Amino acid sequence: ITPLKNGAVRLTTGNDGTTTMAVNGSQLNGVLNCDASAGRLFGEFRIKVSAITNIVFFVGFTDSKALEMPFTQSGTTLTSNASDAVGFMFDTNSTTDDLFAVGVAANTDATHEDLGSAPVADTWIRLGVEVFADGTAKFYINGAKTGNTMTSAITVATDLAATVAVFSETTTSHTLDVDYVRLEQSR
């Protein structure tokens, strides 16, 4: 992780042909101190990726501080690597190179949704995820609600950390800049 001017940080992927977090990944993790059991959990992440080819990234909440890509997708098949996580996934191995709303509660995947838009290379985007005490989640792109409300998105009492994870799917290194992470939680 490299600090940038004005408080941003840069995550830089590896450039090995092995397409895993362990070899090509970079991750920014918060502390496992968030949950939605008191009513509401919200996170907004302002990010920018250097390219939207041969890349996987996740922005949201996860139950692990270990180096891990919470979700990947091949074609239309979603793989959840986290036990509890919710947020946005972008994976160019997907049939459609769009942002997806994804969630997993106690190792059971929620119905993921193609949000019908993709990030633009080298352009800032705000991604927000809001989780409620009933386990539902809403998703926001640049402040506008997008997609359907996701049911069974997360186990609400599980401790979560805000996270941004990225890895390259090729021998080309990519960057993902994080301008800010804004967190709100009911108490």
Question: In sequence order, what DSSP letters do the residues of 134-152 get, joined into one string?
Answer: TS-EEEEETTEEEEEEESS
Cα–Cα distance measured from residue 33 to residue 158, given in angstroms and rounded to the nearest whole number: 9
| Structure-model confidence comparison of residues 22 and 123, the more confident one | 123
Let me know: does 78 contact 117? Beta carbons within 8 Å: no
Backbone region of residue 183 per phi and psi (left: phi > 0; alpha: psi in -120 to 50; beta: other values): beta
Structure tokens at 181: 């992470």
More confident residue, 100 or 14: 100
Confidence band (pLDDT; 50, 70, 90) for 130? Answer: very high
The closest alpha carbon to 141, from 112, 175, 163, 118, belongs to: 118
The backbone torsions φ and ψ at residue 23, rounded to the nearest 5 degrees and listed phi first, read -100, -45
Please write the tens of the pLDDT for every residue from 154-178.
999 999 999 999 999 889 999 999 9
Alpha-carbon distance of 182 to 145, in angstroms, equals 17
What is the residue-averaged pLDDT of the chain?
94
Is pLDDT of 115 > 80? yes
pLDDT digits (tens, 9 = 90+) for 60-92: 999 999 999 999 999 999 999 999 999 999 999
Radius of gyration of the chain (CA): 15
Q: How confident is the model at residue 1 (pLDDT cuts 50, 70, 90)?
A: low
Average pLDDT over residues 100-106: 98
Q: What is the per-residue pLDDT for 22?
A: 87
Q: Which amino acid is at 47?
A: I
Per-residue pLDDT band at 5 (split at 50, 70, 90) = confident
Contact 174, 55 (CB under 8 A): yes
pLDDT at 153 over 80: yes
